[in-house]
Amino acid sequence: MSATEVQKLETYLRRATNALLETEKDLASERAAKVEPVAIVSMACRLPGGIDTPEAFWDLLSEGGDAISGFPKRWENLGLYDEDPEAVGKSYAREGGFLTDVEGFDAEFFGISPREAQSMDPQQRLVLETSWEALERAGIRPDTLTESRTGVYLGSMSSDYGKNAGLGDLDGYVSTGNAGSIISGRLSYSLGLQGPALTVDTACSSSLVAMHLGINALRTGECELALVGGVTVMSTPAIFVEFSRLKGMASDGRCKSFSADADGAGWSEGAGVLVLKRLSDARRDGDNVLAVIKGSAVNQDGRSQGLTAPNGPSQQRVVQEALTAARLSPADIDAIEAHGTGTSLGDPIEAGALTEIFGPERDPDRPLYLGSSKSNIGHAQAAAGVAGVIKMVLALQHESLPKTLHAEAPSSHIEWDGSGLELLQDNQPWQRGERIRRAGVSSFGLSGTNAHVILEEAPADSDDETAAETPEASTPVGVLPVVVSGRTENAMREQAGRWADWLQQHDTADLGAVATTAALHRTHFDSRGAVLASTVEEATQALRALATDQPHDNTVTGTATPRGKIVFVYPGQGSQWHGMGTDLYAHNPAFTAAIDACDTALMPHTGWSVRRVLTDPDHPDNPPLDRVDVVQPAL
């Protein structure tokens, strides 16, 4: 072989080797993306008992609160209750988990006409509100997402709103107002989002299935940010009447998860939305990471013992598949937020499936803690899964596992001994330590579609929520403005009241962080107010005065009007020591520091002080101020 041929062969081999290395690099990058953890950077919710924030939800959970109550006013004239399970068109339960003020909706805020709002399913309204709140809680102004690749993945079951509408009531808004697809589509439309928008209906597992789809979309690059969650509003009592006929409902409307007293499901409603990002993106953007999603899985019962009957082997498989996706073993999981509907059939099947996975070789000193938030708020149907995720994120943050209610006597249909499971009959400490804390959340649909998500504690270097919302914040110096706004004056004053309430509960908050969040991470509407304060206490008092329209020296209100852009003009020679430069040096710390740095750098070359020229132009040691070599450095 000639030297030329050898050279050509070497060149070919070198190129082939480089191509193989590039291919392997691409494959490795693709494999890494498929398993990259996904960060939960914000949460918002509406749940029974007047719960309208995750903080209020935690208060209920940690205190062992029961959010179940009597029928809502919208049903009060229907004559629903009859203790006889055989009574036609009646419900033998007269309590459940209901949202307050379902009818209340600020349609104008979202640019929706009163006529269209009247035809809108309340589920659409709740999704708009909770999604807006979730974004702002993440420090993201919703208007900045216009034309972004933000995905929307929401779980929802069939709507029963406006079911009694006749043909004469069809006004062009009824179809879009009640279509499941519009629940996600309206949110994308309202915010101008251009990522995928899907509404998922797999019955009770809908929100976890939606979350699974959102996680995968982030990992494959279909979207850069994802809003995921679920919603259920019972506009009519149809499910109460239907399950009374099936005798599948708890007589007192309460889910007694894994309890010896379990006597059926207790129905409720709710909404929850999470903001998700790839963990690497969240860290790049300085987001507060509330928790990390390590893996998820979805499967289907297939042909089993019945269309709507729970299937143990399928539940076992979906949990194992989620563990595999997360690259974890059963021993890595500390707790399970179970589906736990409180039925004498479903709970033992679920516990049995968990025993098969977590029971073998489980350390007796480290049982798998088992609980369900359905015991507190009822079964929120399509929102049940996301409510369970919010609960476990809160449990990770507060380092405590809340107890499960109504479980004084665990179900006798479950073999607890040797199962590796321990029912959360009391609050259990769950502190951060050397071992990473993890939990699973299960959701099993009446449709036969099952879902499981595995959560992990946020990285140890994550900041608390307030600080992370405002990465630019620093220790306040002097008086700071805290700004609030609304589309109307009343809305602005209500916002001021909410800020005052929050500050009153967080009196050790960093006022600089609060002011930065208000100024940079909240949407500014036309009706505006501001308070000036140097302490949290002063800010609280001034905001309270603003909220109640009381006179206060440190408050101001006004209405924004269109105006041109602001231009700062710095005139030429002379301005530096005739007011502008000297005033800035005296009052602006950043300017002062910059001039001092310049003075230090220039003095070895000039032999005179720029700082002295600016602050004391008549000093005898200054050079003549009309010389170019003096004027230019001073400028």
**What is the per-residue DSSP string for 464-480?**
PHHHHH-TT-----S-E
CA distance 386 to 256: 19
User: What pLDDT does residue 472 have?
Assistant: 45
Across 131-145, 155-169, 370-384, 446-460, least confident range? 155-169
Cβ atoms of 494 and 486 within 8 Å: the answer is yes
3-state secondary structure of 291: strand
Query: How far apart are the C-alpha atoms of 324 and 362, rounded to whole Å?
Result: 18
Write the burial class of residue 84 (CB in 10 Å: 0-12 exposed, 13-18 middle, 19+ buried): exposed
The H or E element that residue 280 is part of is helix 279-284
The closest of 178, 137, 124 to 52, measured between CA atoms, is 137
605-631 residue pLDDT tens? 888 888 888 888 788 888 887 787 777
Tokens of 78: 């229907």
pLDDT band at 470 (very low <50, low <70, confident <90, very high): very low
**For the chain, first and last CA: distance in Å?**
73
Which tokens go with 560? Answer: 């924004």
Separation in Å, CA 290 to CA 39, 212, 361, 463: 7, 18, 31, 9
Using CA atoms, how far apart are residues 133 and 272, in angstroms rounded to an integer?
Answer: 11
For the chain, the average pLDDT equals 90
Please say whether the beta carbons of 274 and 42 come within 8 A. yes
Sorting pLDDT into bands at 50, 70 and 90, what band is 545?
Answer: very high
Lowest mean pLDDT among 32-46, 122-136, 154-168: 154-168
Instruction: Report DSSP state, residue 288.
Output: -
Of the pLDDT bands very low, low, confident and very high (cuts 50, 70, 90), residue 315 is very high
pLDDT, greater one: 207 or 625: 207
**Whole-angstrom Cα distance, residue 292 to residue 438?**
9
Residue range 354-367, pLDDT digits in tens:
999 999 889 999 99
Segment 206-214 shows an average pLDDT of 98
Per the DSSP assignment, residues forming a β-bridge with 497 are none
Say how far apart CA 578 and CA 635 lie, in whole Å: 12
Whether the model pTM is above 0.95: no
Lowest mean pLDDT among 22-36, 130-144, 311-325, 498-512: 22-36
Predicted local confidence at residue 97, as pLDDT: 97
In sequence order, which residues have a C-beta less than 8 Å from that of residue 560 and are 6 or more positions away?
A: 524, 525, 526, 527, 528
**At 165, is the secondary structure helix, strand, or coil?**
coil
Q: Are 252 and 93 in contact (CB under 8 A)?
A: yes
pLDDT of residue 214: 98
pLDDT at 577: 57
Nearest-angstrom CA–CA distance, 504 and 481 = 17
Report the distance separating Cα 521 and Cα 74, nearest Å.
37
pLDDT in tens, 479-529: 999 999 999 999 999 999 999 999 999 989 999 999 999 999 999 999 999
Residues 33, 278: Cα–Cα separation, whole Å? 9
- Block residue for tokens 């030329």: 4
Q: Which of 32, 27, 29, 41 is nearest to 293 (CA)?
A: 41
Summarize pLDDT for 65-94 with one digit per residue, the tens: 999 999 999 998 899 999 999 899 999 999
Give 633's pLDDT tier (boundaries 50, 70, 90).
confident
Cβ atoms of 43 and 134 closer than 8 Å: yes
Please report where in the chains the tokens 């919710």 appear, as a residue.
45
| Nearest partner of 298 among 379, 215, 400, judged by Cα | 215
pLDDT > 70: what percent of the chain?
A: 91
Q: Report how far residue 63's alpha carbon sits from residue 238's, in angstroms, rounded to the nearest whole number.
A: 32
Q: How confident is the model at residue 62 (pLDDT cuts 50, 70, 90)?
A: very high
- pLDDT of 473 reads 43
